[in-house]
Amino acid sequence: MNVDNTPTPTGTHAIMLKINLNYVTIAFDPTCADQMMEDMHKNLCLPFFDYLESETRKKKPVEIIRYSLGYHCNGRSGKAHLHLNIVTDGTPNNVLTNYKYYYRNKHAPRNFEYMMETPEGREAISDTCDKFFKVHTHSIRTSELTDEKGLLAYPFKECVDETNSWKAYKDSQVHPHTIPDLITYGAGIYLKACRDRVKIELKEAEKIEKWTVFCKQMDDLRNTPTGNEMRDLRGVVLVALDYFKRLTERTSVNAVINMCKDYCFKRGIWTNQEILDKYQIA
């Protein structure tokens, strides 16, 4: 039995490319997903790989070790985009600027067409280099590699069930990892992020509700004889502290004072000049 003792290549850097698909307004039909991902890979990702390979002929070579490609459309904006995460040995400088220069001068002619799957069906898209980067807005981040599995799993994070598995490009080069394992890992990251976002939104909603209740309480007090004592920030704070002291639930003194500051600012009780004087802003 022959044993392959070839060491698995390791990377040193991470390149994270996000490509916004600004012409996409709805999610693609999964029945054409494989063709769509092939189109995306060919027309949007291979040119970037060509650019990285061109860097290997320079003094600072860049070797592509492995990569993953995934389609996202469930973000807060609802806009579709691709994530191409690459493990490399080395990284070029000024990646996005140099890639645009390379694309404009080396890859595409002045006017060209390519086939893309769109919500209306497969069609030829006429393009120019300048228009290309406006329609497909690119953003790139580079860093030292710290979490290879997390990096490669991120593009697959929306593959939370079988109906969404098409969002992972099936020919992503991830060895020695496997695509199913990365999908599971990425989906776990995504679902945890969703749960965390819900918790944050609930906390924000609670803060808004408490702030609304507080403002109503202060407004009501200002419409009583007590309002005569609430003509400045100090008076509002004294009344608020006295009010909350009589309540049974736990109250943060700092929170009450900060709410009083915000309340007085919003109601014009604490003037801009007083605020500038307080914080010694010339």
Mean pLDDT of 67-95: 90
CA–CA dist 282, 276 (Å, integer) = 7
When comparing pLDDT for 52 and 130, which is higher?
A: 52
Query: Is residue 211 predicted with pLDDT exceeding 60?
Result: yes
Q: Which of these, 203, 53, 24, 8, lies nearest to 117 by C-alpha position?
A: 24
Question: What pLDDT, on a 0 to 100 scale, did the predictor assign at position 218?
Answer: 94
Q: Which of these, 66, 71, 98, 92, lies nearest to 83 by C-alpha position?
A: 71
Question: What pLDDT, on a 0 to 100 scale, did the predictor assign at position 132?
Answer: 81
CA–CA dist 92, 98 (Å, integer) = 9
When comparing pLDDT for 139 and 131, which is higher?
A: 139
Question: What pLDDT, on a 0 to 100 scale, did the predictor assign at position 25?
Answer: 47
CA–CA dist 148, 66 (Å, integer) = 10
How many CB atoms neighbour CB 259 within 10 A?
Answer: 20
Q: Is the CB of residue 158 less than 8 Å from the CB of residue 74?
A: yes
Q: How confident is the model at residue 111 (pLDDT cuts 50, 70, 90)?
A: low
- The pair of three-digit structure tokens given for residue 86, joined into one six-digit string: 């690459």
Question: What pLDDT, on a 0 to 100 scale, did the predictor assign at position 209?
Answer: 94
Q: Compute the CA torsion angle 173, 178, 184, 185 (nearest 10 deg).
A: -70
Q: Is the CB of residue 32 less than 8 Å from the CB of residue 122?
A: yes
Task: Let me know how long the chain is.
Answer: 282
Least confident stretch, 2-6, 31-35, 145-149, 162-166? 2-6
Let me know if 21 is exposed, middle or buried by CB neighbors in 10 A (0-12, 13-18, 19+). buried
Question: What pLDDT, on a 0 to 100 scale, did the predictor assign at position 231?
Answer: 93
Let me know if 54 is exposed, middle or buried by CB neighbors in 10 A (0-12, 13-18, 19+). middle
| DSSP assigned state of 27 | P
pTM, rounded to two decimals: 0.70
Q: How confident is the model at residue 6 (pLDDT cuts 50, 70, 90)?
A: very low
Mean pLDDT of 83-107: 89
Whole-number Cα distances in Å, 256 to 161, 249, 252: 46, 13, 6
Least confident stretch, 67-71, 72-76, 81-85, 210-214? 72-76
Listed by start position, the domains of the chain span: 13-197, 224-278
Question: What pLDDT, on a 0 to 100 scale, did the predictor assign at position 33?
Answer: 80
- Token pair 């040995």: residue: 89
Pairing label, strands 111-118, 121-128: antiparallel
Q: Which of these, 87, 42, 47, lies nearest to 63 by C-alpha position?
A: 87
Q: How confident is the model at residue 46 (pLDDT cuts 50, 70, 90)?
A: very high
Q: Is the CB of residue 55 less than 8 Å from the CB of residue 61?
A: yes
User: Positive or negative, the Cα torsion across 120, 132, 155, 139?
Assistant: negative
User: What are the tens digits of pLDDT across the range 147-199?
Assistant: 999 999 999 999 988 888 999 999 999 999 999 999 999 999 888 888 998 99
How many CB atoms neighbour CB 15 within 10 A?
Answer: 24
